[in-house]
Amino acid sequence: MRTVATPVRAMIAAALLVSSAGAAQKSSTFTTGSNDPVIQKINEFIRTGWEENEVRPSPVADDAEWLRRVSLDLVGQIPDSATVEAFLADKDPAKRSALIERLLEDPRHVRNQTTVWANILVGRNAPDRTSRPGLEKFLRESFARNRPWNEIVFDLMTAEGHFEENGAVNFLLGQLQGNPNDEEYAVEATARATRILLGMQVQCTQCHDHPFNDWKQNQFWEFNSFLRQVRRRDVDRYDAASGQMVDDYSELVRRDYQGPVYFETRQGLMKVAYPKYFEQELESRGQTDRRQQLADLMAKNDPNHQVARAFVNRMWGHYFGYGFTRPVDDMGPHNPPSHPELLDWLTEEFVRSGYDIKQLTRWITNSEAYNLTSQFNPGNEIDNPSVGETPLFSRMYVKTLTVEQLYESLLIATNAEQSGQVGYEEAQRQRREWTRDFMRIFGGNDDDEPTLFSGTIPQALLLMNGDLVRQATSVESGGFLAAVLNSPRFKSDAARVQALYVSALGRIPSRVEYGKIEKVMKLNPNRAAAYQDLYWALLNSNEFVLNH
Amino acid sequence: MSLRIPSGMSRRHFLSHVSAGGAAALGATSFLSHLEAHAADVQKAQKACILIWLGGGAPTIDMWDLKPGSKNGGEFKPIATAGDRDLQICEHLPELAKVMDNMSVVRSMSTREADHNRGTYFMHTAYVPNPTVVHPTFGSVVSYELAPKRKELEIPAFISIGGGGMDPGFLGMAHAPFVVDAQGRIQNADMGSDLARLNQRLQMLEAVEDSFIRSNRGDIGKAHKEVYQKARELMTSEQMAAFRVEQERPEVRQAYGSTGFGNMLIMARRLVQTGVPFVEVRNPNGWDLHNDVFDSLRTTHLPQLDKGIAGLVNDLKAHGLFENTVVVCMGEFGRTPRINQNVGRDHWAQSWSVLIGGGGLAGGRAIGKTDADGIRIESDSYLPNDLWATVAHALRIPLDTVHQSKNGRPMRIANGGTPIKDLIS
């Protein structure tokens, strides 16, 4: 393994580190090449956790492992062969931080974040009469300009209008169904907005005080009262072809409402709730715009910075597979975080940065913990959150590729050298069909923990026998395999096997691995078929569908 | 040596069988041969449910609860059936009428969700949609509860024939409906080459996967391997013959009406016979009959349904499966008693009917009552909760079973519904 710290940087970093006598000093101080003191401070917090729990962190991941990980996390797909080769050959000790900067400016990063957040906000199967494309447009434009997160939250909470012209409306629009005058109309919107944007699960308290935390029933209805002044308006149009009315568009409009809301306790008592954000109460009479006021409190005037805290926790979870709380959107006194000081401090830094999403991403991905290998070592076997332990981030946790990552990665691993072989229209049509299949078969639950592997038979069948992999492993000319087999660049079996490994897994096979592969390949007299089987096996392997 | 408990039986249940059979007095050898001799019976004793889904919402007022003499009555007449005197059904269901001593109709469903998506969700899960949790469709619940007990089953425990499946929700994708088309074709099950090639590939896969499994990264690499083993098992299992309806004699297919729908029901019976505990059959007709409801029912919808379900009931009985197989036939809601200006009926969830029978449930009964115009319920009314609790009861899944959602909320099976008394007594 290559160590990437230069002595000079290591010294600077060491000086910044509040050193405590003990285990940590044995390993040299890690840096990706960035000398941002915030990153050093994160490393320090994490190291304290290791020391207190007496775990020895896993070593730093080798360049291939880390490149694949950071590519999947930042741009949503594996690196192509050329990128892998260039990165492995790069001698710059600061190449990791340099790569992070490049990926943050890559348009694919915006696309990836848009997908991730559209999934969180409205789900892969957006509710009826909700425009996921509209929401994506809003998110794409926001992330492309690196708008502060609190501004985005403000828009999501206050937006009004047409679901494609003002895509931010879709977050609330998706949760508003049924009769606007029904007491339950804004219940789903309340539950989702508090869970996603504030990291608080108050939905149980719709009906009763929470059985094991401090949330009280009135708190749910206090939040709910903020969302009483909004409703959806669905517009239909006449379709001459079918002679029937069909969906035209939907919009979010203001609804007259004043005064408190009333709710019933389990004991059958009627109670009253006023618009109140934690301890801050609002004027409930008159036509005060409550959504505006709530958004102000959430995004600008919350002394606890709950919006920032929830975002930091979720983003940490996105990169590590586990956030500081489990699940990431259930924060509160009943569910203490694994690293309370780090979470507090990083939240404050994020607020101080002006809710700068890119900056937060930079801090997390440049941290030591993010750069460790996912392999256990004998000194950190207890750091295993998959069996319920508190995460210590002494190694990277293995995540399952999302359906989008899997699909995009398959295209990278297979399409690389065959662009232009089919017409654009045909390629687009085929892509839509494949996407649909993948979404249906892998779609699953939007809320699954990223570290959960829930493979199913239809998923395995899709990868074993599906059209995409079948084409990917075709040896016809113009395809990837034919290109490798016929290329003068790859002169030996070893070189060709390596090319396949680099393309699918982003790494070079070990000698032992090559030995095993060679043995199986020799059993097949048809050389092309043997390569086909190898590539099929690589694309179907555990390593391919995991981000480790 | 360990005695294998026949799956589909709880240990306690099994032991009670043992003592009832006087096994204590028998030596181990004769006991085992006793088991073998009854292996076929054990298979038959496995509980199952076939859900026949009428997507779009069927006009049950024209099928199971006719209102002659009312302005809402429509064009059809009721006829007597083999069931109780008050269990009259539509004149266009004559074959079914002959076997209605086996099936009952619950005429007082009241389910409040009259939107297609919400109604479909509610009727499949017994929960109304909620943005913070995805509830499992009931087939997933049955798969979750019974699949671990059916070790000999090499194909999935929840199969949906003829269309889109519902969501397994917080029970996880392992219990998602396994969707096959009306011909029983499984997407991507055909690798397009022979078994030898498949084995070569799997050998290569093993060589590739091995290093990750050994790389000390936890169990996740192995979990992946197990799924592939199951996929291979499926691709090569003899139980896949259950999907091959063409293996049935022509007489059998005729008995089901020789329609696509009939073939789907034959497939359901073959799957149940193989040990699959939950099969959903999507009736291929669209039941969202806002226009020309009577013509559609008379010419296509009812004749196919009539012969299909009558064929299924007779065939399950002939195979000795009916007493252990619940058959439910419904859609997401009923349709308005009022007939609209297009001679159609619109969405209606307040008062409608479900056909249910088999699996030891009472047959031949009309349960619940609507008024003379079919609008108001004049008896106890029922929710999907009660319907699925009845099914759970018949499948011997304990009603105090509680699952946990992803965010830690306890979820009672069938949303805490109560079995419908007149079906279980």
> B196: which 2 tokens?
């030898």
Which of the four pLDDT bands, split at 50, 70 and 90, describes residue A379? very high
pLDDT digits (tens, 9 = 90+) for B310-369: 999 999 999 999 999 999 999 999 999 999 999 999 999 999 999 999 999 999 999 999
Q: Are residues B103 and B192 in the same domain?
A: no
Calculate how close chain B gets to A362, using CA atoms only, in Å. 26
pLDDT, tens digit, for every residue of B224-272? 888 898 888 888 899 999 999 999 999 999 999 999 999 999 999 999 9
Q: So what's the pLDDT on residue B194?
A: 81
- Chosen from B179, B204, B225 to mutate, greatest number of chain A CBs within 10 A: B204
Query: What's the rounded Cα separation, in Å, for the pair B252 and B262?
Result: 10
One domain for residues B263 and B328: yes
Number of residues that make up chain B: 425
The answer to whether residues B206 and B296 belong to one domain is no
Q: Closest-CA residue in chain B for A185?
A: B130
Task: Say whether A400 and B191 touch across the interface (CB within 8 A).
Answer: no
Q: Is residue B18 part of a domain?
A: no
* Residue in B176, B190, B200 nearest the CB of A456: B176
pLDDT at B18: 33
Bridge partner list, A232: A252
Using a pLDDT cut of 70, give the percent of chain A over it: 90
Would you call B227 and A204 a contact, using CB atoms and an 8 Å cutoff?
no
Per-residue pLDDT tens digits for A450-484: 777 777 888 999 999 988 888 888 888 778 898 89
**Tokens 């931080």 appear where?**
A97
Cβ neighbours of residue B383 under 8 Å, at least 6 residues apart? Answer: B109, B110, B111, B126, B415, B417
Among candidates A175, A445, A545 on the partner chain, residue whose Cβ is nearest the Cβ of B134? A445
Same domain for B335 and B218: no
Is residue B26 in some structural domain?
no
Q: What is the DSSP string of B351-411?
A: SEEEEEEETT---S-EES-B-TTS-SB-S--B-HHHHHHHHHHHTT--TT-EEE-TTS-EE
Q: Which amino acid is at B311?
A: G
Q: Is the pLDDT score of A163 beyond 70?
A: yes
Question: Do both B279 and B401 map to the same domain?
Answer: yes
More confident residue, A469 or A210: A469
In a domain, B24, yes or no: no
Partners of B90 in the β-ladder: B78
B350 inside domain: yes
The SS3 call for residue A245 is strand
Confidence check: pLDDT of A75 > 90: yes
B204 interfacial to chain A (CB closer than 8 Å) = yes
Question: Distances from the Cα of A48 to the Cαs of A10, A363, B286, in angstroms?
Answer: 19, 18, 63
Question: What are the DSSP calls for B117-134, one per residue?
Answer: HHHHHHHHHSS--BTTBP
Going by C-alpha positions, the residue among A254, A300, A309 that lies closest to residue A277 is A300
What digits encode the pLDDT tens for the residues B371-397? Answer: 999 999 999 999 999 999 999 999 999
Q: Do B176 and A374 touch (CB under 8 A)?
A: no
Q: Do B209 and A543 touch (CB under 8 A)?
A: yes
Q: pLDDT tens digit string along B192-213?
A: 778 888 899 999 999 999 999 9
Q: In terms of domains, do B153 and B300 share one?
A: yes
At A211 the pLDDT is 59
* Average pLDDT value for residue range B170-179: 85
Residues B207 and B323 in one domain: no
**At residue A428, does pLDDT exceed 80?**
no
- What's the total number of domains in chain B? 2
CA of B281 to nearest chain A CA: how many angstroms apart? 19
The pLDDT value recorded for residue A422 is 62
pLDDT grade for B40, boundaries at 50, 70 and 90:
low
**Which residues in A lie closer than 8 A to residue B212 (C-beta atoms)?**
541-543, 546
Residue A268: exposed, middle, or buried by beta-carbon count in 10 A (0-12, 13-18, 19+)? exposed
Predicted local distance difference test score (pLDDT) of residue A278: 83
pLDDT band at A100 (very low <50, low <70, confident <90, very high): very high
What is the rounded average pLDDT for all residues in chain A? 88
Closest residue by Cα to residue B348 from B331, B333, B332: B333
Question: CB of B211 within 8 Å of any CB in chain A?
Answer: yes
Distance, in Å, from the CA atom of B24 to the CA atom of A445, rounded to the nearest integer, reads: 49
Written as six digits, the tokens of A214 are 């401090």
| B96 in any annotated domain | yes
**Inter-chain contact A537–B406, Cβ cutoff 8 Å?**
no
Helix (H, G, I), strand (E, B) or coil at B88: coil
- Output the domain CATH number for residue B375: 3.40.720.10
For B209, which of A445, A454, A541 is closest by C-beta distance?
A541
More confident residue, A303 or A20: A303
B321/B356 same-domain check: yes
Q: Pick the closest to residue B6 from B51, B37, B52, B27 (CA basis).
A: B37
B12 in a structural domain:
no
- Extract the tokens encoding B425: 């007594």
Say if the Cβ atoms of A541 and B178 lie within 8 Å: no
State whether B166 and B135 are in the same domain.
yes
pLDDT at A3: 38
- Maximum separation of any 2 CA atoms in chain A, in Å: 84
| b/e A59-85 (16+ beta carbons within 10 angstroms → b) | ebbebbbbbbbbbbbbbbbbbbbebbe
Q: Are residues B220 and B362 in the same domain?
A: no
Q: Is residue B219 assigned to a domain?
A: yes
Chain A residue numbers with beta carbons less than 8 Å from the beta carbon of B194 are none
Three-state SS for B160?
Answer: strand
Q: For residue B202, tell me if it sits in a domain.
A: yes
SS3 of residue B281 by DSSP: strand
Among B189, B204, B219, select the one facing A534 at the smallest CB separation: B204
Q: For A160-184, what is the mean pLDDT?
A: 93
A207: confidence class by pLDDT, cuts 50, 70, 90: low
**Shared domain check, B297 and B215:** no
- In this predicted structure, what is the pLDDT of residue B209? 94
Torsions phi, psi for B52 (to 5 deg):
-100, 115
Residues of B in contact with A374 (CB under 8 A): 217
Enumerate residues 6+ apart whose C-beta is below 8 A from A465: B188, B189, B190, B191, B192
> Within chain A, how many helices (H) and strands (E) appear?
24, 9
The pLDDT value given to residue A24: 40
Q: Is 70 exceeded by the pLDDT of residue B295?
A: yes
Q: Which pLDDT does position A14 carry in this prediction?
A: 39
- Name the token pair of A76: 């949503």
C-alpha torsion A48→A49→A50→A52, nearest 10: 80
Q: Please list the helix, strand and coil fractions of chain A in percent, rounded to the nearest 5, in that order.
A: 50, 10, 40
Residue A489 pLDDT: 92
Q: Which residue has the tokens 């206050």?
A: A158
Chain A partners within 8 Å of B225 (Cβ): 542
Least confident of A197-211, A295-309, A315-329, A389-403: A197-211
Q: Comparing A119 with A424, which gets the higher pLDDT?
A: A119
B367 and B305 fall within a common domain: yes
Q: For residue B176, give how far its alpha carbon lies from the nearest alpha carbon of chain A (Å).
A: 8
Residues of chain B with Cβ-Cβ distance to A177 below 8 Å are 115, 118
Q: Are residues B188 and A459, on separate chains, in Cβ contact within 8 Å? A: no
Whether B219 has a pLDDT exceeding 90, the answer reads no
Which residues in chain A are closer than 8 Å to B209, comparing Cβ atoms?
Answer: 537, 541-543
For A457, name the nearest residue in chain B, comparing CA atoms only.
B231
The per-residue pLDDT for B14 is 33
For residue B407, the enclosing domain spans 45-187+242-424
- Nearest chain A alpha carbon to B167: A444
| B179–chain A Cβ distance below 8 A for any pair | yes
Task: Give mean pLDDT, residues B11-24.
Answer: 34
